[in-house]
Amino acid sequence: MLRNFYTDVMQIPWRKPGKYTYLKPDQNLTEAKFSELKNKLDRLKFNRPRLAEEVKKYASDGDFSENATYQIAKGKLRGMNQRILEIEDHLKRAIIIKPNKNSGLVQLGSSVTIATASQEKTYLILGSSETNPQAGVISHNSPIGSALMGRKIHDKIKIKLANREVEYKIVKIEYK
């Protein structure tokens, strides 16, 4: 009886999925981020035939088990196809952020200036896929972002940090 090397001898590593393995990306996107993802999708779809042709060329070289270039090219194509599916799904589920400018409340797309006793900070509140805390862009799911959502000017919020509690006052709300 012949043994199949890959199924009988060699064990395939298995990792337990982590806490964040199957999370869908945040649906809330700005028009700019939506356009960026659409352009990325177009580039991937444009490059896919070239990569498929490369896989076809390496497949014609013979034995698949010892053809490393074929395996690498096939892995690249598989990764590209997966990325295309993920971006298409993200775009299909996307909700474009359009704040209601007459509400007077903090919402997605709001630029909020908050003050403590000693300093002022301005944050732009967007979806989780567009955050950049160093540039003042935070998620509506972050501790500060979630505490600010639905509040109005002059409201006070308290945020618990690791070793202390900080109180902020909303000074200004602008809509982008």
Listed as own residue / partner, the contacts of 125-132 with beta carbons closer than 8 Å and 24 or more positions apart are 125/149, 126/28, 126/30, 126/97, 127/26, 127/27, 127/28, 127/29, 127/30, 127/33, 127/97, 128/25, 128/26, 128/28, 129/25, 129/26, 129/29, 129/33, 129/90, 130/29, 130/30, 130/33
Is the pLDDT reported for residue 79 higher than 60? yes
Q: What are the domain boundaries of the chain?
A: 24-96, 110-175
Q: What pLDDT, on a 0 to 100 scale, did the predictor assign at position 67?
A: 77
CB-based contact 123:107 (threshold 8 Å) = no
Q: What pLDDT, on a 0 to 100 scale, did the predictor assign at position 116?
A: 86
Q: Which of 89, 83, 95 is nearest to 27 (CA)?
A: 95
Is the pLDDT reported for residue 39 higher than 70? yes
Reported CATH class of domain 110-175: alpha beta
Q: Are both 24-96 and 110-175 of the same fold? A: no
pLDDT tens digit string along 126-144? 998 899 999 999 999 998 9
Q: What is the mean pLDDT of residues 97-118?
A: 89
- CATH 3.40.50.2300 assigned to domain 24-96? The reply is no
Q: What pLDDT, on a 0 to 100 scale, did the predictor assign at position 1?
A: 44
Q: What is the mean pLDDT of residues 42-53?
A: 94
Predicted structure pTM score: 0.75
More confident residue, 26 or 172: 172
**Chain centre distance of CA 4:** 41
More confident residue, 1 or 114: 114
Q: Which of 66-70, 85-89, 113-117, 164-168 has the lowest mean pLDDT?
A: 66-70
Q: Which residue has the tokens 């967007």?
A: 126
Q: What is the mean pLDDT of residues 27-46?
A: 95
